[in-house]
Every structure is written in structure tokens, then in C-alpha cells.
Structure 1
Amino acid sequence: MKKLSLAAVFFIFLSACAANRAVVKSDYNFSAVKVISVGNFTADAAYPSSGNAVKNSVMKYLLAMGYTVVANNKTKADAVVSGSVTTYLPNKKYLVRMPDYEKINNHHGQTVIYGGADIMEVGGSNVYDLGTAFGLGEDNRVIASNATVGISAYMTDAETGEVVWSDSYTYEGLDLSSALDGAVKYILKTIPKVSIQQEGSK
């Protein structure tokens, strides 16, 4: 377990779900995109495996959306989806030994734990008080944080290399799996099925 010093206030930054409107090339024929190659997703520096985790999830959900998905650039594709992991915070739990435990609240966008003792890390962003630690007495509290995953992605035309779609999204879940799935599912749903011009003419 990792011991974190707590003098007066312990801050855990709250990363709320945030959506940016997708940007697309309005005259691009998205209805012609049947085969998508999934390129690299640059990992969060603190979690080297996060890029592959996001890439695998992107492939899974593109398949579920009905696309033919290829995992390398040697196979002919209509478009390529790539991107980066902007946030990757696993859910955690903390054992808080605080005889003078006061409260947990949100203050100016930050979750603040007031007290004067140490925190033992046993396992995010949003933080919850789960109550007393079983068998350790009333002065020991268990604090849990949500997981947060942020993704920035873009689609390029496989032939011209032109960027035709771009979006980013950050999602918070109870655990890393749900946060990852939520971020990927949302961001991929913003890929148009037809061109914006075609949609507007209906």
C-alpha cells in the first residue's frame, strides 16, 4: 500500500463527463465508409498500456456498429481511425485513519477531504465515503474514487489522408472498464453515417 501524507487537506481533482461537439467534413461521403482500419492510440504517459486498451475497445464497438474492421494498414480500408488517450485514471480506494474525520465535499470543482491524519491508498476522480472499514473501528473510513477515461480521436480518408471527422470525450464510471466503454461508445456514435450535406437535404 502507498502511504500519502495528509496535513490539512487532501485534494482529488474531479474530472466530470465533458462532451465536445464533433467536427466533420460536411461534404465527405461517410456512407461509402464500410471498412475501417484502426490505427494507433497514443497512451497516457502514466499508463503505457492505455493506448492498446482504447484501441481494442474501439475495434469492438466499430464491429458492433456494423463496420468491417482491420487492425493493420496493409489491408485495404476506406478510412482510418486513430487518436490518443487524454485521461486514464483507474478507480481507487483509500483507507483513511482519521480520529478527527470531518467531512467530504466538493469545493470549487475539487473533492476535498478534511482531516489531520494519514491516508493509506488501497486501490479517479469523483470520491465517495463508503463508511467505516470493517473490523478496524469507527475511526477508519473507506473512501472510493471513480475511474475516468478521456479520448481524442479522428478519422482520415484512407486514400487521401484527409481528416474527415474529429471528436473528444471524457467519461467517468464506477470502474475502469465502464469508464472506457462509456467514452468509446459515445465518441464513435458521433461518426456520421452519411455526409452532413446529404443529411440536411432530407
Structure 2
Amino acid sequence: MRRTSIFAYFCGLTVLAALGSLSACGGNSGETKPDEAKPTAQAKKAETYVRSGYACCNLHYDGDWINDANLAQLPFIAAGTPINVKKIDGYRAYVEINGKPMRLGLDYGRVQETTEQWVNKLVVLDDPKLKIAKFAPLTRKAIEEGKLLRGMTREQVIMAVGHPQTNENPNLNGPYWRYWWSSFGPYYVYWAKGTVSKIDGHSETVGYMTYKAKK
């Protein structure tokens, strides 16, 4: 009986040791290690931009290209759209608009201003939509459609059709600003006492660029 008890005792110790070994192995297999492929939020490096802001005005584009001619016949990105400027290189700026990569090109006003000066005019720090919302309803609708009205201020004209080319409009206090509908179709915005007095040019162009209230 004594030998049987001793044998049973040692058998029990052996079983316990085996269970302990398995438990230890199971514990190691259940350990979780930090996922090195997914850095923490603190470890993520935020992308830096040369400038971040909003479209000063309606910016007309052709594919991924926007230049200082801002041809009115092209589709446009609305004033107030967020823009991140990633890099300025020569007469080009590489930007991100609504998550889409695009390019800005200073093609005509290179003598009158630097690329950085021009880009800073296009990408403003304050959202123009806040101002637009306070304008009279007709003015607001005209800007939203990229068109003009008599009585608009210089600021409102810029919001609607963009900055005029600096090589053709060196003096913004002059009697008119020259704009382009297409590469061969200019039109003119005349000023009187700081507001639009007349829109001039080819009749079809003037008709298109003039906002008409919908009945």
C-alpha cells in the first residue's frame, strides 16, 4: 500500500509538471506584439505644405491644369474650395484640391510677380464663402455661376472670374480690366466709382458672362 501511494504521488507530480509546461507554452503563444506595420498616431508624420487655404475665387481648369489666363469657357473649382500647396518649383506649383493632385502655372505674369506672390493670391487664408454668404442674393448667385453683374465691386468680380492677368492689367485702379473667355476671345470689365459699369466685348461673350436672374 505504501509503495502504491508513493507511486501515485510521483505520478501526480509528473502530471502537474506537464500541465504547467503546456500552460506556459500556451501563455507564450497568446502573447500579442505591437504591430510594427501600423505606427501609432503619435509616430505618424503629418504631411507639411507650403501653404494651406482656400480658392480665392472661381478657378478655371483644364484637366489638372490652372493658369493665370483663367479662361472663362472652362469648368471651374468654386471659390472657397480647400487647397493645399505641396511645392512651388519655378513657375509651377503642385497642389492638392479635394484630394486630387493639380498644378498651378504662372504663364503670363512672370515679369510682374513671382510664382509665390501669384499662388498666395489664389490660395487665401480666409474662406471667401463666409463673405459671399453675406452678399445680396443676385450677387451671390452670379459668383456661384462664375458670371458678372453691373454694380459688383472689385472684390466680387475677382471672386466670380478670378484675378486679371497682371501682364495685361498692371494697374488695377485703371478704367477697365481685360479678361479672356477663350484664347481668342477677350472681354472687358469697366469701372466707375469702384463698381462695374459695363461688360464689353463680343456680344456672345458678354451675354454669357452677364448673370441673368432666373424667373
Question: What TM-score comes out, normalization by structure 2 length?
Answer: 0.20
Structure with a larger share of its residues in strand: 1
Q: Which structure is richer in relative contact order (CA contacts within 8 A, separation 6 or more)?
A: 1
Larger Rg computed on CA atoms: 2
Question: What TM-score comes out, normalization by structure 1 length?
Answer: 0.21
Structure with a larger share of its residues in helix: 2
